[in-house]
Structure 1
C-alpha cells in the first residue's frame, strides 16, 4: 500500500526515544521529511543517527519542552519553514507521575495538565494553519488505553489523556471541512522504558520482582505478550498518512486485545 507520505512534512514530538522515536522512524521509512523534537538534545542526536542508519534519511532535530508555549511555537514554525509546510503532526509527551487521588497536590494536577493536555492543544493550534494552507493534513495524538479504561494508580494520566480524545473528537468535526483528519492512537502494554519504569515502581510497592509483575500483566493480554514499538508505530504511520482518507475522530487501541470493553 502506498501511504502517500513521500516528501510529506512530518513533525513528531517527544521523539528522542520510545514510541515517538519508533513513529518517526516509521515515517522516515516511508520517505517523509521528518523533524523530531525533545528536551534531551543528547538523546535527540542519538535518535537522529539511529534513524539515518536505518533508513538513509536524515531527520531534523529541534529542542522543545512540550510544556513551554513559546518553544512549541518556534518548533512548529521552524519545521514548516525548513520543510516547506507541515502535513502531519504527531503529538506526544512523557507520562505524568503515578499516584492516586490522595497523593496529588494542586501543582501535580497543574503539571499533568500542561504536560499531557495543554501541550496537545498548543501543538495543534500552531500546526493547523499550515495544514489549512496546504489543503489538508493529518494529526495523530499518542495517548494511552486509559482513555477507554482508567488504569489504577495513574489518575493524572487517566484524566488528561481522556481530555485528549475529547479534544480530538470535537476537532474532527471542526477540521473536516479543511481536509484535516485527527485520531488518537492508544498504546496498551508496549515494551518501552515507560512501562518498565511503571512496573518497577509497582513491584517495589508490592515487594516483589519486576519479572513477576510483568508476567502477571502479560496474562491479561489475549495475544500473550507485550507489543513492540514497531508494531505501534505502524498504526501511527497509517492514521497519519494520506492512505487514511475516511477515519477521523477515532481512538484506536493497540493493546493485543487487553481491553475487554466494546
Structure 2
C-alpha cells in the first residue's frame, strides 16, 4: 500500500535501532525524508546510511540526549532549517531503562525512568509542535507498552512512565484535534528487541528463536501471547508507519496493541 509518504518530513526519536529503526525504515522505503535522533553517534550514523540506501530522499542523523531540553531544541532547530520550518511526522520510540522490583529500585532509577520515558517525549513534542502546525498535515505516534495493561513485578518504574506517556498522548490528541494533528499510541507486546534479547541471554534462553523466547516469557512471567511466538521489530514498523501517514485520516487518541493477541483491549 502506498502510504502517501513521498517527501513527507519525519523525525524518529530512538530511530537508530530496534522498533524505532524498523519504523524509520518503513517511512524511508515509502519515500519520506527522515531524521533519526539518538544518543550514540555510531548507531545514528549507521542508521542514517541504511535509510539512505533503502530510498529516503533526505536523511539526517542527529545526536542528542532527549532528557536535556537544550539538546532537543538544537535538534529541532536543525530539522527546521533543513526542511523549511515544517514537519509532518514525529515518532517517539525511546523507552526508559529501569528494571527491578519496587523494593529494589532507587530514587535515581525512578527519576531516570520518568526523565527518559516521559519528559523526553514532552521535550520533543514541545519543540516539534511549531513545525507540525506549519505543515499541511501532521501526525504524532508515541511508543507505550503492553505492561501498562498487564503488569510485571520487575517493571514498576518502566510501566509507570509508559502509563504517564499514554495519558499525556490522549490529552494531546484532544488538544491537537483542532489543528487536525492526530496523536496515537502503539503498545508493543513481547517483541525481540535488544532489551528482551538481553534478558533472554541472562537466563540462558536462545532469544533468536521467537518460539523459544515466547515459551520463556510464559515460564518466567506468565504473559504468553495468543500466538506462540515473540514478535519482531519489523512487525511493529508497518503499524506505526500507517498511523503516521495520511492514510490514517480519522484515528486519533487510540492505543493500538501489537502484541500477538492478549486478553486485554
Same fold (TM over 0.5): yes
The question of 1:180 aligning with 2:181 is answered: yes
Alignment of 1:89-128 (within 5 A): 89-128=90-129
Match of 1:171 in 2: 172
The question of 1:210 aligning with 2:221 is answered: no
Give me the whole-angstrom Cα distance separating, in 2, the residues matched to 1:191 and 1:213.
8
Match of 2:263 in 1: 260
Give me the whole-angstrom Cα distance separating, in 1, the residues matched to 2:179 and 2:58.
30
Deviation string, structure 1 residues 73-117 (Cα, Å, up to 9, x no partner): 111121122023111000121432200111122211111110100
Match of 1:206 in 2: none
Task: Please give the secondary structure, in 1, of the residue aligned with 2:54.
Answer: helix
Q: CA deviation at 1:177?
A: 0.4
Match of 2:248 in 1: 244
Give me the whole-angstrom Cα distance separating, in 1, the residues matched to 2:17 and 2:76.
19
State the superposition RMSD in angstroms: 1.7
Give me the whole-angstrom Cα distance separating, in 1, the residues matched to 2:83 and 2:153.
42
Give me the whole-angstrom Cα distance separating, in 1, the residues matched to 2:247 and 2:214.
36
Give me the whole-angstrom Cα distance separating, in 2, the residues matched to 1:49 and 1:26.
15
The count of aligned residue pairs is: 255
Contact 1:143 1:185 in 2 (8 A): yes
The question of 1:52 aligning with 2:52 is answered: yes
Alignment of 1:1-262 (within 5 A): 1-55=1-55, 57-84=57-84, 85-201=86-202, 203=203, 209-211=204-206, 214-217=214-217, 220-257=224-261, 259-262=262-265
TM-score by length of 2: 0.90
| Structure 2: gaps of 5 or more residues | 207-211
Give me the whole-angstrom Cα distance separating, in 2, the residues matched to 1:71 and 1:15.
17
Q: CA deviation at 1:48?
A: 1.7
TM-score by length of 1: 0.91
Change (3 A) 1:56 1:252: closer
Contact 2:33 2:56 in 1 (8 A): no
Give me the whole-angstrom Cα distance separating, in 2, the residues matched to 1:159 and 1:56.
36
Contact 2:184 2:252 in 1 (8 A): yes
Change (3 A) 1:94 1:166: closer
